[in-house]
Amino acid sequence: MRGSQARFDKDQACIKSSLFLSICRGFNNNYFTRKRKLTPENLTLSILNRKGVTLSMEIRRFFQLLKPKKIESISNPGYLKQRLKLSPATFQYLSDYHVRNFYEDEKNLHKLKGYYVFAVDGSKSNLPNTKETLGAYGGQVNQSGQQAQVGLSCLYDVFNKMVLDCTINPRNFSECAQVEIHIQKIPSIIEDQPFIMLLDRGYPSSLFFINRLESNQKFVVRLSSKDFKQEQINMTTDDEDVEIKFTPQRIGPYRKTVFAKRLREKQSIHLRFVKIMLPDGVVEVLATNLQRNEFSAEEIGKLYGLRWEIETAYGNLKNKFMLENYTGKKPVIIEQDILSTIYLYNLVQDIIRDAEEERQEKDKHKQYKHKMTINLNIAIGIIKEDLIRMALEDDPGKRGEIFNDIIRSIANNLVPVRKSRQFQRKRKHPSIKHPITKKRSY
């Protein structure tokens, strides 16, 4: 049995467990105690099945899948009432469970010189504009008014394409604080395996550097022109060991915290600063604690370039997985939609991984002009179309047949990988609502 299929079967067993039911209830043990048309298990599957259409059509399509089980449909208000009882932590738990099982298969995972390579970044997501969403998350103010937004922070494996952790926050949240939360979760996933963190501007700070050095956690982070400015100015080569002194000015922002004492006691730290030139000629400075005998300056630059994978992941979540196409306006429903999309993203990448391995083995004697890879957009559509049908199938043999068909269909839809392609960004005409290159797959 393929790894992704085994993990999906484990997910389904997890959904049927008593522990999962207690997580569904959240802080109210009276929820989901009666036998109703929509059990917590089926409610969870209905959310994973959402296609971004009207609620009436979502319910109709899902209950058509339940017809063989002779389960009657439910009204829109009745469905939403059940949704409001379901804790968003349900999908956080399900995603964590799948990710932990994924990383148990360590021998088949991609590392770089023995390290997992993780990136952390934040993003904003537009929400339905209501008093409740503005009150819960805040919003962006512009000349048109105020737009409700939620802040997301993700920990992402750039090689294995897994979202290891996702936190939901108000729009104006501390990305630096979320890094510490993400890092605390890593041992529960990969135990004591070594990893490298990739971070953009906005994350470097004295606190961040000391925490990583004391924990012996490797990192590569881009500095802004104002970060440790004097140390950047004093560089005479493109790759230097730099002493960062904790002067009174640097301790000042922390003077009312316990961290001020740590800075005074530490006095200074040593980091490696590496200058890299971007394709447009702009010079950036990276700070790292990776040693030269492991990574050269050129390798550090290429390593940092992998951080772009998390930007691509956010783009896929919003555009291909339609993360921002929310079912409702209530915060609990919004958070269910976000976290269920994260779980689906990981599941899709897991299945694609198996399909890609089988495709490469099958096509190893074929010659293509360009390197070929699986079309993510089509893969999402195929999995969305058949996933719940497979989850509802009780017969293991038939379930295996559905999964085989999913793998075959995904492996047959390929796109070429054309490296180093760059296009000038053009403003599209506002009347073009459905660009020919951005067709939806579901």
Could you read off the pLDDT of 250-263 as tens digits, one per residue?
888 888 888 898 89
Q: What separation in angstroms does the CA of 68 have from each of 36, 48, 58, 61, 294?
A: 17, 19, 18, 13, 58
DSSP 326: -
Q: Is the pLDDT of residue 144 over 90?
A: no
pLDDT tens profile 171-204:
999 999 999 999 999 999 999 999 999 999 989 9
Give SS3 for 308.
Answer: helix
Q: Which residue has 């990583």 as its token pair?
A: 212
Structure tokens at 183: 């890092």
Q: What phi, psi does 239 have (nearest 5°)?
A: -150, 105
Span of 14-23, 190-199, 269-278, 431-440 with lowest mean pLDDT: 431-440
Give me the half-sphere count of Cα atoms (radius 13 Å) on the Cβ side of residue 167. Answer: 21
Say what angle helices 55-65 and 76-85 make with each other, to 10 degrees.
80
The pLDDT value given to residue 281: 83
Q: Is the distance from CB of 180 to CB of 155 less than 8 angstroms?
A: no
Those residues whose C-beta lies under 8 Å from the C-beta of residue 255, and which sit 6 or more positions away, are none
pLDDT band at 306 (very low <50, low <70, confident <90, very high): very high
What pLDDT score was predicted for residue 427? 58
Domain borders along the chain are: 3-89+326-417, 109-313
Residue 153 burial (C-beta neighbours within 10 Å; 0-12, 13-18, 19+): buried
CA distance 179 to 197: 10
What CA–CA distance (Å, rounded) separates 183 from 215?
Answer: 11
| Cα 101-105-109 angle, rounded to 5 deg | 115
Instruction: Please report, as a single letter, which amino acid is at residue 53.
Output: V
Report d(CA 300, CA 191) in Å as an integer: 25
Q: pLDDT tens digits for 74-108?
A: 999 999 999 999 999 999 999 999 999 999 988 88
The Cα 402–Cα 387 span in angstroms is: 9
Q: Would you state the pLDDT for residue 432? A: 56
Residue appearing with tokens 């590496």? 274
Q: Where are the alpha helices (DSSP H) in 363-426?
A: 376-392, 396-411
Integer Cα distance of 133 and 151 in angstroms: 12
- CB-hemisphere CA count at 13 Å for 122? 21
Tell me the C-alpha distance between 166 and 188, whole Å. 15
pLDDT tens digits along 214-244? 999 999 999 999 999 999 999 999 999 999 9
Rounded to the nearest integer, the mean pLDDT of the chain is: 92
CA separation for the pair 7, 1 (Å, rounded):
10
Checking if the pLDDT of 312 tops 90, the result is yes
